[in-house]
Amino acid sequence: MASRSTVRPGPTRLTMIGDALARPMASWYLVLVSAVLLVGLGALMVLSSSSVYSQAVNKGDPYYIAERQLIFLVMGLPIAWWLSRQKERMLKVLGWVAFIGSLLLLLAIFVPGLGSDAGKGNLAWLDLGPVRLQPSEFAKLGLVMWSAAVVGTKQKVLDRPRELLPLLVGFLTVEILVLAQKDLGTGLVVGAIIFSILFVIGIPVRMLGALLGLAMTGVLALVVTSPNRMTRIAAFITGNAADDPNASQQPMSAIYALASGGWWGRGLGGSRQKWGGLNDGAQNDFVFAVIGEELGLLGTLTVLFLFAVLAYAGFRIAMRADSLHIRVLAAGTTSWIMFQALVNIGVAMKMLPVVGVPLPFISAGGSALMANLFAVAVLLACARQEPAARKALARKAGEPRPKVTTVVDGGR
């Protein structure tokens, strides 16, 4: 009687993905790979999207903005690498250093001769001669790191509302300094950071709702008292920006760019809207539209996919953390990047009124790029603190080095 042989099915693709995600350092690699690809795509798109505007305003040099972006990238990478290898105790110390340093930079903007609007209408830049910094970009990271450090020391008393007072004072200080610069876009991002951190530490929904109501009232007041903002809101609601000479035509140009890109795009460098329709927004506020025009639907979906991977990895690190400090740090950093990305993309797709926030890793801007690099470095440091990753790294560090042995032929 012939015996039947059974063939076991091979591993499916889903099984392979599950096995890969179960590895101790999976979160670390997800953050690293998605961030590297976003930074690489950003460098490419800054070169392409900024060439026309750069040539027009920088004495005929189409590569000026791209070159400065590359300089900030090269300067930021070594610091990011160092930051990514820090342990939890050092991250707490750096949180205080980053927060105090960012506050001093924000205050320095109001010193006569140092603050600059860079032609944007917002007093948000610090002019240091050959270098121009935007302190509010670093304040976002400083706020996240500091709040995580504060919460980490108050874990056992967070159920007492008065214990959150220092945290709220710090939040409001940064928010007021940012809004005093007339930068509502960054103010909204700071507000999103605040609410994400309060949510993570378990603030009662009733209190969170009350704070959200106050925040929305404040935003409404800022919009109503600003003719420029009211014009943007009116153009967004009515959709008649083309009939209003005071309204920006960039949102409609962005829609034209996205619509004309098709499936595969016009090719890198082939954008037509960057020649005037998007003006100075082609390389920052509306760079997503240029991606859609030059790289098509495939390019925009790639960007969305990479941000989705980064979001998954960041929140995965937060959920797996066995320390409240690491949980808040990972969740706050991820929420900041994702909220800012969604706002930028929403504006480019005309789903939101114009709010001037850069697309993380991709928009032109040295300060924003360096802050984003440091944020990724913080996520990488948090990933190394996952319980399984920590054990794996400890085992690896404790492995003895293999002894060198020599096999000599005995003459046989």
Q: What is the pLDDT of residues 131-147, one digit of tens each?
A: 788 999 999 999 999 99
Q: How many CA atoms lie within 13 A of 404 on its CB side?
A: 0
pLDDT at 80 over 90: yes
pLDDT of residue 311: 97
Whether residue 315 is contained in a domain is answered as yes
Query: How far lies 217's CA from each of 119, 210, 220, 269, 294, in Å?
Result: 29, 11, 5, 43, 40
Give percent above pLDDT 90 in the chain: 44
Whether residue 210 is contained in a domain is answered as yes
pLDDT of residue 154: 73
pLDDT at 402 over 70: no
User: If you average pLDDT over residues 10-39, what whole number do you get?
Assistant: 86
Domain span at 63: 25-389
pTM of the predicted model over 0.85:
yes
Give percent above pLDDT 70 in the chain: 89
Direct distance between the N- and C-terminal alpha carbons of the chain, in angstroms, rounded to an integer: 51
Question: What integer best gives the mean pLDDT of the chain?
Answer: 85
Q: How many CA atoms lie within 13 A of 76 on its CB side?
A: 22
Whether residue 59 is contained in a domain is answered as yes
Whether residue 217 is contained in a domain is answered as yes
Q: Which of 314, 365, 308 is closest to 66 using CA atoms?
A: 365
pLDDT of residue 245: 46
Residue 166 or residue 99, greater confidence: 99
Confidence tier at 4 by pLDDT (50, 70, 90)? low
Amino acid residing at 90: M
pLDDT of residue 72: 94
Domain count of the fold of the chain:
1
Whether residue 197 is contained in a domain is answered as yes
Q: Rounded to whole angstroms, how far apart are CA atoms 211 and 277? A: 39
pLDDT of residue 332: 95
Whether residue 107 is contained in a domain is answered as yes
Residue 163 or residue 189, greater confidence: 189
Q: Are 215 and 191 in contact (CB under 8 A)?
A: yes
Whether residue 399 is contained in a domain is answered as no
A 10 A CB-CB count for 409 gives: 5
Which range has the worst mean pLDDT, 164-168, 255-259, 326-330? 164-168
Instruction: List, for residues 249-261, the tens digit of each pLDDT value.
Output: 788 888 888 898 8
Whether residue 126 is contained in a domain is answered as yes
